[in-house]
Amino acid sequence: MVALNVKKDKNVFSANWEANLLVKDRLSGKLKRLRFQNYPDRLKELLEEEEKEKSERENKDEILKLSLPITEESLLKVAPAQDNFIPIRPGIILPPTAKAELHFHPDDRQQAEDIAKNLPEDDSKKYSLEKIVQALTDKQKLDLDEANKEKFSNLIFDFFRNRKRFLNVREALLTEVASRQGKLNDQTVDNVLSVVKGLKIKMEAAGGLVVRAADQAATVSPVKIFSEKPTLSPAPAITPVPEIKKEPVIKNEPDREIVQALQELDKDLPSVPTPTWTKPADTFTPPPVTAKAGFVISSPEKKPETVKPMPILPAKSQSPVTDFRVSRPVENEVSKKSITDVVSKKEVVFKAVPQVRHVLTGPVGELEAMSLENFRRLGSTIGEIIERLADKIKVLEHDSFTKKTQGIEAWRRSEIHQLYLQLGIESMQTGQEVSKIIAAREKAGQRTLTLEEFNSIPDLNRRLRF
């Protein structure tokens, strides 16, 4: 439904909205205005008026296009007087390929240019992806068409850029890429990835980056910024100052002084001959040593009979000197006690330990394989044991209803429940009390439940009912 402007002649066209509707002719299938249908006798006149209005409207548009551009004086009358306001001039249409200016204010352009000058320069080493792929295909003798080569390149590029993991790339090479001879085998893929992995480690260590040839050509080389030399005013003339020759200052070198001093001492000291060692004789008697005060000190081992020391009176301020005696410790032999009173013990008979088969089971299998010992390890009291078993069944119920059913069936097949059934059946067949049957089994050394355990199992079974 299209609404049209109402004509000025209200006698011909009413202001009712029905006059501006479009209707479809059943015979021709064309759309006509409703007012034309209401006035078939004036159809020709109405069409002429519509064409006339259309031509007038087009003439007005052409006049606006051909009008003179708006001057700055006329713009100042309409727009606010601002220095940074840039009006849009009519008739100025940019081509579709023109780039828009990325700023909203004239000062933004200057700020963007200042930031662009201080951008860091990318000095990372670039490696061509095409060269790497060509080297890999040549080395492994891969005959790939254009489509498979592009897939191969994309996978290798994603691995270099850490977009895909090693296992994902390996699986994609085995399933998606194929040569003209067929799918790539495992050995070829492993050889390719081992080379690629080694290249990646070396590139990351060197700070390099793998790029495509198209991306490398599209990148704009960074603009080098040269600092502008400031223009300085000429400095006043300075009278030259005569240079003062300073004596060279020698830094503290204690090592050199010490070395020189040691060399001078080596020159002054006489050369000392190196002592030679000779083996002493077996029967050697040391001669007497004469002290400074005139005392004769004999050897501690044996005194010579022929030589007698001269008797010298001791001075008043001196005490007589006695002979030196050297005592050496003698190692006493420790008598070792021999053990003779050892009584032979009886021979120990080793019993073979029954082999226990350990099988990894789940929660259901654990209930079925539960032994009497494991049952009693669940808690210190029978009430605690029953609660632990009920909790195990509840955990299975959280997973699914089927798991709970399997857990109950596994509990009924366990050793504990079978012993419970055996005690009940034997009690009914013999007519004896369960306590007497349990006592008889314990006396015979058979595996059995206690009376408290037997009475608690029915309570657990009652809780496990649906």
pLDDT value of residue 364? 87
Query: What residues of the chain score a pLDDT lower than 70?
Result: 1-21, 23, 25, 27, 32-43, 46, 61-106, 122-123, 216-360, 466
pLDDT at 31: 73
Confirm whether 30 is domain-assigned. Answer: yes
**Shared-domain flag, residues 443 and 369:** yes
What is the structure's pLDDT at 205?
84
373 and 459 in a common domain: yes
Q: Which two tokens stand for residue 290?
A: 């004469």
User: 446 and 370 in one domain?
Assistant: yes
b/e sequence 306-324, b meaning 16+ C-beta within 10 Å: eeeeeeeeeeeeeeeeeee
Q: How far apart are CA 129 and CA 156, in angstroms?
A: 8
185 C-beta neighbours (distance < 10 Å), count: 10
Tell me, yes or no, whether 322 lies in a domain. Answer: no
Per-residue model confidence (pLDDT) at position 388:
92
E runs forming strands in 161-237: 178-179, 182-183, 209-211
**For residue 282, how many other CB atoms are within 10 A of its CB?**
5
Q: List CB contacts of 452: < 8 A, sequence separation 6 or more.
A: 382
pLDDT at position 230 is 45
- Judgement on whether residues 367 and 456 belong to the same structural domain of the protein: yes
**pLDDT at 201 (0 to 100):** 87
Residue 330 falls inside a structural domain: no
Q: Which of the listed residues 29, 50, 66 is the one where a domain comes to its end? A: 66
Residue 224 is predicted with a pLDDT of 47
Q: Which helix (H) or strand (E) holds 172?
A: helix 166-175
Spatial separation of the C-alpha atoms in residues 118 and 227, rounded to whole Å: 11
Query: Domain check: are 445 and 373 in the same one?
Result: yes
Final residue belonging to a domain, choices 66, 92, 107: 66
Q: Is residue 300 part of a domain?
A: no
Q: Looking at the domain assignment, is residue 324 inside a domain?
A: no
124, containing H or E segment:
none
The model's pTM: 0.28
CB 437 within 8 A of CB 447: no
CA separation (Å) from 391 to 69, 263, 379, 399?
A: 90, 91, 13, 13
Q: Give the span between the Cα atoms of 361 and 369, in whole angstroms.
A: 9
What are phi and psi for residue 163, nearest 5 degrees?
A: -90, -25
pLDDT value, residue 195: 87
Of 185, 218, 251, which one is at a domain's C-terminal end?
218
SS3 183: strand
Count of domains forming the chain: 3
Are 139 and 51 in the same domain?
A: no
Q: Cα-flanking dihedrals φ and ψ of residue 179, to 5°? A: -90, 180
In order of 50, 128, 413, 440, the CA distances from 449 in angstroms are: 109, 78, 16, 12
Note the pLDDT of residue 269: 44
Residue 49 within a domain: yes
User: Which of 181-186's residues contact partners 24+ apart within 8 Å by CB, and which partners?
Assistant: 181/143, 184/142
Owning domain of residue 206:
127-218
* Residue 165 covered by a domain: yes
Residue 460's contacts (CB-CB under 8 Å, 6 or more residues apart) are 386, 389, 390
